[in-house]
Structure 1
Amino acid sequence: MNVLCSLRDGAPRCRWRAFRRVVLCGCTVAATLLTAGCAVGPDYRKPTIDIPPSFKEGSVEWQRAQADPQATLSSTWWRDYHDDTLTHLVDEALVANQSIAQAEAAYRLAQATVAANTASLFPTISAGISGSRAGAGSGAGAVNGSALNSGVHNTVTADVTASWELDLWGQIRREIESSKASAQASDAQLAGQRLSIAASVVTDYFELRRADVDIDLLEQQQRIDASILDMTRASCAQGESSNDSVLAAQDTLEVIVADLQSTQTSREQYEHAIAVLTGVPTGKFSIASEPHYAFVAPVVPLSLPSQLLERRYDVVSAERTVASANAGIGVAKAAFFPNLTLSAQGGFQHSSLANLFSVPNRFWTLGPELAGTIFDGGARTAAVHEARATYDESVAAYRLTVLSAFESVEDSLSSSNHIAQQERAYADIYQRNKRLFESEQAQFQYGSASEQSLLTQQLTLLLAQQNLADTRASLTLSSVTLIKSLGGGWRWDEAKEAPADVATSSRSSR
């Protein structure tokens, strides 16, 4: 290959063709080396962990079974509570909440990191044009040994430079692998943030509704206690009761007043919290009271496989963090090997811009560069040890996250089971007190019972009603906790032997 064909021989095209052949040959060799290059470091394998097929708490029927389409939750699980106000609040929070916006920005940052690392696989090409004008006197020319150096000289240069660092040892590919896993972890965190915000809105909303019911019942009790106090004072004035009875009636009334104030404070604070979650200033936000709110909860299916936990956002994020750390070991090991860089430069140079782009004025260079570290005092070895320690730490964190996930689900199931039993007990108590109050009403109408006795029985009935309403609210709140613990519901895809796609945010969370 006659790369240095002389222009005076009348063959200016020979150099250009030779240059192209050299470039193509270099690219072919580089591609071959890149393809044959290995990625150092261990290939990723998901850490093993013992996952039981079902949960401990609950009935013995909690085993794998055929999926029940009527006992599943959609991605918008909060709609299964059949409350339009609640649905509107959650939808608003998912759009306007600043924590979600922050997590979404972090995910976009992770995606940009992946794109930046991927770009390192490709050559970098730059172009430029420059001009200069320099002058020197005859004395300076004499010093340089030639009179040609004196006078004024113009130089115009236009060039293109290409540089390509070959990924022979897989360092860049491991960096891409690590950044992709980190982006998937960030994606799962975004899904978790959305789930967390939705669950917070639902929880605060149901607490607010419980306060509505309690405030109504406490106000009824306050009116009855005030009437009983008046009756006790009248009875004391007539000498039929002691002053101690008046003091006791006053204490009872004051306790109800204090409870009412505390409940009203809680209601206002829950309303403020929902305002912040939905991105609305607290002064411009209000929710109308519903003193007769009926609490409902989705029915938990009998088949609830423990594999559902594999789609929990924190489990997904922890597992992807392990994958990222595993790739980091390869990045650290690749530092022990030299880097091969191919570089090329070509362009034109002349004293005038008009005659710049012509074959006689061209120039080019092409050559590889192999560079590696010989001695670093053990820094690369320490980096590998650091990467392995980071991997071991992330594996331990992943296993702990899975164990914590099982704990939270078991706690939720246990709480739901016991609250359900409490709800049945309080329902029986309420029904008995309702019959007792009806009996007391009949006796009062026939004159065999006093009005104060009737009011006392009514207070007992209101207390039973309040206990029942609070327990039903707790049961509904427990279902929210269970849904959150399971990662957003309990749908299972039997065909794929995997959790169904019900996450509210992103691909990796599914």
Structure 2
Amino acid sequence: MAPPPTKAPRAVPPSPAWRLLKTGVALAATLAIAACALGPDFKRPEVQVPQSFKEGADWNRAQANPQASLSSDWWRMYNDDKLTALIEQSQKANFSIAAAEAAYRASLAIVQANRAQLFPIVTADLSGTRSGTPAGGTSRSATGSIAPGVNNDFIASATASWELDLWGAIRRQVESARGTAEATDAQLAGQRLSIAATIAIDYLQLRQADIDIQLLTQQKDIDSRILYMTQEAYREGQASNDQVLAAQDNLEVVIADLQTTQIAREQDEHAIAVLVGVPPGDFSIAPDPNYAFVQPEIPLGVPSQLLERRYDVVAAERTAASSNALIGVAEAAFFPTVTLSATGGFQHNTFANLFSLPNRFWTLGPDIAQTIFDGGERTAAVHQARATYDQNVALYRNTVLTAFQSVEDSLSSVNHLRQQSQSFADILKRNQQLFASSNAQFDAGAASQQDVLNQQLTLLLAEQNLSDTQALLAQSSVALVRNLGGGWDYKDMQAAGNGASTKATAASTPNPASDQQQASNPPPPH
């Protein structure tokens, strides 16, 4: 026998609560989209920007890329593979950079947390209880009366709540958090630039110490010979005791300078080790007394680019934007908050029959809350937000002025050190001629051996002055890169012709490392 035909289940029409929930959600979405955001929209504070740098009139203008600070490899301009390797290692291993990167990730998480407040919160709950009712009494639940004795109660429910952002408080909070994250991002870029510049300066100071140590060692050897000759002349009655004392002082001064220079070199080496994430005891850099300092051409650009590429200026501007958004958050507190909430579920004393239409329950409704009296707390909050914004605007403008000052200072230093370097180069050439003349006079019997040694000391001092000035000039160029905000790609600079000008500058700058070989190994006096 064929089974009796089964009746198709009848579709359950949506309940009034469900229709009301859909209508409420649609209305809430419409209100949220059309809602305004209280508070002023941020505009970059006006600052006075010069048309050009005062100390940069003689510089060649070059196009810079303000967006390339993180991918910049400006340190390649110095044509030193060791320096490049140290800086690139620091970008991966430096703990200050790692901390700044973690701070940036934390700020991004705050942005995401604030943005999540724009969406509804949905929770679910499943619970079961077992209870006893005394004889002669009854209790009631959502499903009706419960008989005396031991009873079970199972509840499965879901709750949704949504605070409508009618006045833009949440959106302004997201805007503020985003501004803080962008400021933290700029600080990360600044930390990378600062670490790279610090390593470059420490490294150039170390190479300066290498040259000075060699020159001071040569001076010490010559002063020792002069002291010995003076002491011999004193024994023979041809020199006074005062001359012996003066010769001893000259030797001791050079020895003291040599110790000071060696301390500086060792400390520079220790500083570099920490910056690249290595214990100083496990790190060393081989001396290079013949190091040649490169003087690259830095793309100066225009002053207005500082507002986009200087990390401290960008961070200050983004901090002002963040505080501006908080004004809207404070103003929104004067308006009521509207929260839509809905709860629905099932309840029964047996789990098997829990999920059935007769056992369902639901609640739905809005919640409107308004602060009536707070003793002026909200007004004070608005005043505080506006004062904080004014403070950050003032700090931004001061940061811009300080940025212009630091660039002008670097340009002034580079300009004058270039002239000073040229003067010391001319002095070196003249002292080389005087030393050669002194040797010729000694060979002709018209000068003493001590005269030749004294002239050699003068020549070594001229070489040291030139090498120290070249080292300071290279360090000043690094400071200029840092103050301009970095952001150049070395390959792009070479393609634009800067690579050729860098080589030309390095070739045209006198190098005492090659000239000192002649002074350190002169023809021995006969």
Alignment-derived partner of residue 134 in structure 1:
131
The CA distance in 2 between the partners of 1:166 and 1:143, in whole Å, is 36
**How much does 1:43 deviate?**
0.9
Where do residues 473-484 of structure 1 align in structure 2 (5 Å cutoff)? 473-484=471-482
The CA distance in 2 between the partners of 1:374 and 1:106, in whole Å, is 39
The CA distance in 2 between the partners of 1:68 and 1:433, in whole Å, is 42
**Is the CA contact (8 Å cut-off) linking 1:423 and 1:471 kept in structure 2?**
yes
**How much does 1:22 deviate?**
1.8
Q: CA, structure 1 residues 480+124, in 2 after alignment: closer, same or farther (shift >3 Å)?
A: same
Partner of residue 449 from structure 1, selected from 430, 447, 450: 447
**How much does 1:149 deviate?**
4.7
Alignment-derived partner of residue 74 in structure 2:
77
Give the residue type in structure 1 aligned to 2:78.
Y
The CA distance in 2 between the partners of 1:142 and 1:129, in whole Å, is 22
1:307 corresponds to 2:313: no
Alignment-derived partner of residue 93 in structure 1:
90
Alignment-derived partner of residue 109 in structure 1:
106
The CA distance in 2 between the partners of 1:390 and 1:21, in whole Å, is 47
The CA distance in 2 between the partners of 1:161 and 1:435, in whole Å, is 94
1:239 corresponds to 2:217: no
Cα deviations by residue, 1:275-313 (Å, 9 ceiling, x for unpaired): 111110011010000011111121135x63112211100
The CA distance in 1 between the partners of 2:137 and 2:223, in whole Å, is 112
1:29 corresponds to 2:27: yes
Q: CA, structure 1 residues 250+390, in 2 after alignment: closer, same or farther (shift >3 Å)?
A: same
The CA distance in 1 between the partners of 2:189 and 2:182, in whole Å, is 11
Alignment-derived partner of residue 500 in structure 2:
none
The CA distance in 1 between the partners of 2:446 and 2:222, in whole Å, is 20
Partner of residue 290 from structure 2, selected from 280, 283, 292: 292
Aligned residues between the structures: 475
Alignment-derived partner of residue 209 in structure 1:
207
The CA distance in 2 between the partners of 1:320 and 1:484, in whole Å, is 20
Give the residue type in structure 1 aligned to 2:301.
L
DSSP-derived class of the 1:138 partner: coil
DSSP-derived class of the 2:151 partner: strand
DSSP-derived class of the 1:344 partner: strand
1:354 corresponds to 2:377: no
Alignment-derived partner of residue 118 in structure 1:
115
Alignment-derived partner of residue 176 in structure 1:
174
The CA distance in 2 between the partners of 1:446 and 1:20, in whole Å, is 117
Give the residue type in structure 2 aligned to 1:439.
S
DSSP-derived class of the 1:163 partner: strand
Cα deviations by residue, 1:289-343 (Å, 9 ceiling, x for unpaired): 0011111121135x63112211100000000011001100000000001111001
Q: CA, structure 1 residues 62+53, in 2 after alignment: closer, same or farther (shift >3 Å)?
A: farther
**How much does 1:199 deviate?**
0.7
Alignment-derived partner of residue 218 in structure 1:
216
The CA distance in 2 between the partners of 1:330 and 1:272, in whole Å, is 50
Q: CA, structure 1 residues 124+142, in 2 after alignment: closer, same or farther (shift >3 Å)?
A: closer
DSSP-derived class of the 2:277 partner: coil
| Bigger mean CA offset, 19-28 vs 127-136 | 19-28
**How much does 1:78 deviate?**
0.6
**How much does 1:11 deviate?**
8.3
DSSP-derived class of the 2:354 partner: coil
Cα deviations by residue, 1:319-372 (Å, 9 ceiling, x for unpaired): 001100110000000000111100111111111111111111111111111111
**Is the CA contact (8 Å cut-off) linking 2:94 and 2:277 kept in structure 1?**
yes
Q: CA, structure 1 residues 232+114, in 2 after alignment: closer, same or farther (shift >3 Å)?
A: same
* Coordinate RMSD, CA, aligned: 2.2
The CA distance in 2 between the partners of 1:480 and 1:229, in whole Å, is 42
Q: CA, structure 1 residues 455+280, in 2 after alignment: closer, same or farther (shift >3 Å)?
A: same
The CA distance in 2 between the partners of 1:85 and 1:418, in whole Å, is 28
**How much does 1:448 deviate?**
2.4
DSSP-derived class of the 1:45 partner: coil
Alignment-derived partner of residue 39 in structure 1:
37
**Is the CA contact (8 Å cut-off) linking 2:64 and 2:487 kept in structure 1?**
no
**How much does 1:143 deviate?**
13
- Tell me, which stretches of 5 or more residues in structure 1 are unaligned? 1-9, 492-510
The CA distance in 2 between the partners of 1:142 and 1:473, in whole Å, is 92
**How much does 1:447 deviate?**
2.7
1:271 corresponds to 2:269: yes
**How much does 1:490 deviate?**
6.8
Instruction: Give the TM-score normalised by the residue count of structure 2.
Output: 0.87
DSSP-derived class of the 2:394 partner: helix
Q: CA, structure 1 residues 447+142, in 2 after alignment: closer, same or farther (shift >3 Å)?
A: closer
The CA distance in 1 between the partners of 2:266 and 2:260, in whole Å, is 10
The CA distance in 1 between the partners of 2:441 and 2:346, in whole Å, is 114
**How much does 1:17 deviate?**
4.2
Q: CA, structure 1 residues 229+143, in 2 after alignment: closer, same or farther (shift >3 Å)?
A: closer
Q: CA, structure 1 residues 189+142, in 2 after alignment: closer, same or farther (shift >3 Å)?
A: closer
The CA distance in 2 between the partners of 1:83 and 1:143, in whole Å, is 86
- Tell me, which stretches of 5 or more residues in structure 2 are unaligned? 1-8, 490-526
**How much does 1:196 deviate?**
0.6
**Is the CA contact (8 Å cut-off) linking 1:304 and 1:490 kept in structure 2?**
no
Give the residue type in structure 1 aligned to 2:12.
R
Structure 1 runs of 4+ aligned residues shifted over 6 Å read none
Alignment-derived partner of residue 400 in structure 2:
402
DSSP-derived class of the 1:13 partner: coil
The CA distance in 2 between the partners of 1:150 and 1:428, in whole Å, is 113
**Is the CA contact (8 Å cut-off) linking 1:275 and 1:285 kept in structure 2?**
yes
The CA distance in 1 between the partners of 2:354 and 2:298, in whole Å, is 80
The CA distance in 2 between the partners of 1:51 and 1:428, in whole Å, is 39
DSSP-derived class of the 1:57 partner: helix
Give the residue type in structure 2 aligned to 1:13.
V
Give the residue type in structure 1 aligned to 2:98.
A
Cα deviations by residue, 1:365-414 (Å, 9 ceiling, x for unpaired): 11111111111110000000000000000000000000000010111111
**How much does 1:489 deviate?**
5.2
**Is the CA contact (8 Å cut-off) linking 1:409 and 1:486 kept in structure 2?**
yes
DSSP-derived class of the 1:43 partner: coil
| Bigger mean CA offset, 135-144 vs 222-231 | 135-144
The CA distance in 2 between the partners of 1:419 and 1:277, in whole Å, is 28
Q: CA, structure 1 residues 483+148, in 2 after alignment: closer, same or farther (shift >3 Å)?
A: closer
Cα deviations by residue, 1:147-186 (Å, 9 ceiling, x for unpaired): 9552111100111110100000000000000000110000
Q: CA, structure 1 residues 178+276, in 2 after alignment: closer, same or farther (shift >3 Å)?
A: same
Alignment-derived partner of residue 189 in structure 2:
191
